[in-house]
Amino acid sequence: MRCALWVYRSTLAMTLLAVVLVPLPAPVAAADCVGDCNADGEVTVDELILMVNGALGTSPVSSCPAGDQDADGEVTINEIVAGVNSALNGCTVAVTPEATPTATATATPTSGSTQGYAGDYHGTASDGTVAVRVHVDADGSASGFLDFLDGGGAAATAPSAGGGASVVFSAAASGQANLSTGELQLSGTNAGSRFDITGQLPNGADAAGTFSVTLFETTYAGSLIAGMAPLTPTATPTPMQGCVGADLQLAFSDVSATFNGDSSSFVATRTDLALEQRAPDYIGGLHETYNSSFNVSSCTAARNVQISIFGVLGGLSGGQSFSLVSGPEGSQAIIYYGQEAASGDSVWSSSAGTVVIDAVQGSVVSLRVVGAAMTQPAGAAAGSFVLDVTGEVSNFTRQE
């Protein structure tokens, strides 16, 4: 091994000696420049010495990167010979002239084009309950609305088919669209709960895309087409506008002399929330319990009622009844009645009575509150009364 190393070093030394003894001519053009350590267009004896030292290991190869022609981390005899040839024959580093940039006209993405998906789109869920409207800007930002339609009619009467469905209320959404692939993603909130709109934009005026809306863990899906939706009346960006979704008659009796609220009967015509969710102690196949909540209010006065039912095995169904008892321990249901005023909010809660579920048919729940003794005043409330409620809520949803 020592003999081989000695022969290798001797060969390198002889190569270097040959370079030193031969006069170096002026550089001429060459295709390569092995050994040009300082990239000045020529190879000198000093640079060849750096290559030899790199081959012997007395200097790092990185001291002359141009000597390691194949960039394998070492300098070989062949590379030193190539460096000697560069020194003898000369070399120049070819410089590629910088190309003059050519101005390129940028095409404005248009709806449904292969260059982009900017434009307007709309679609209606297959069951006719909701619709979406989306506008995509040239930078890919997207905005629009989730529209809740009256009655949940068939798709044949939905706005995307030019039918007569109208918007009950709308919830604003914003997000992004991929102008290359047409992938769409928006989100917003409705009644305090997040919803998501995802889908694929159509790639032409005569093509159809798809969309999917996830709200309260329920999914609504349908086709998405280019163009603005022929929706009338024009939807507003504020959710829960319009007096629809509930028809509950509230009646007061046994009103105390100290009661400081408005005891006149009224009809709650707007549903702010009608939702049934799995209870914290839910166990699939063993203990499938649900909690339900109905928030309804008046459209003509700042009054509202909340009906909350806890621990319903199997979920709400017709023929069930739940007692209103005082205190949270063991409660099956509780009623809150509230009024808003400049002087402060007034809230009463139930201490006795019964909630009766007469029927559950899809999204419609018929219910009654019988003899709810409203006491335990909170906030600015005072006095007591008995509250009875009858009617139905028409946009009930169960979260599975």
Asked whether 289 and 282 are in contact (CB, 8 A), the reply is: yes
Chain-wide mean pLDDT for the chain? 77
Closest CA to 282 of 316, 243, 312: 312
Token look-up 């209010």 returns 297
pTM for the predicted model, two decimal places: 0.42
**CB-based contacts of 100, cutoff 8 Å, min separation 6:** none
Mean pLDDT of 39-52: 83
Question: In 10 A of CB 367, how many CB atoms?
Answer: 24
Mean pLDDT of 296-310: 86
Which pLDDT value is given to residue 236?
A: 39
* 80 DSSP assignment: H
Indicate whether 186 pLDDT > 90: yes
Indicate whether 390 pLDDT > 60: yes
Which pLDDT value is given to residue 64?
A: 86
Which pLDDT value is given to residue 211?
A: 95
| CA-CA-CA-CA torsion sign (67, 70, 72, 77) | negative
Which pLDDT value is given to residue 256?
A: 93
Mean pLDDT of 114-141: 85
Which pLDDT value is given to residue 230?
A: 58
Asked whether 198 and 185 are in contact (CB, 8 A), the reply is: yes
Bridge partners for 366 per DSSP: 359, 392
Mean pLDDT of 13-23: 48
**Alpha carbon of 393 to those of 191, 249, 270, 327, 374: distances in Å?**
15, 11, 9, 26, 22
Which pLDDT value is given to residue 228?
A: 78
Lowest mean pLDDT among 161-165, 192-196, 295-299: 161-165
With a pLDDT cut of 70, the percent of the chain lying above it is: 74
pLDDT digits (tens, 9 = 90+) for 54-86: 888 777 888 888 888 888 888 888 888 888 888
Asked whether 274 and 395 are in contact (CB, 8 A), the reply is: yes
Q: 77-81, 104-108, 235-239 — which one is most confidently predicted on average?
A: 77-81
Mean pLDDT of 120-126: 90
Which pLDDT value is given to residue 42?
A: 85
Indicate whether 314 pLDDT > 60: yes
- List the helix and strand counts (H, then E) for the chain: 3, 18
* 78 DSSP assignment: H
pLDDT digits (tens, 9 = 90+) for 357-388: 999 998 899 999 999 999 877 777 889 999 99
Which pLDDT value is given to residue 213?
A: 93
**Alpha carbon of 164 to those of 52, 159, 210, 394: distances in Å?**
88, 7, 22, 20
Token look-up 């997000």 returns 175
Mean pLDDT of 323-342: 75
Asked whether 392 and 365 are in contact (CB, 8 A), the reply is: yes
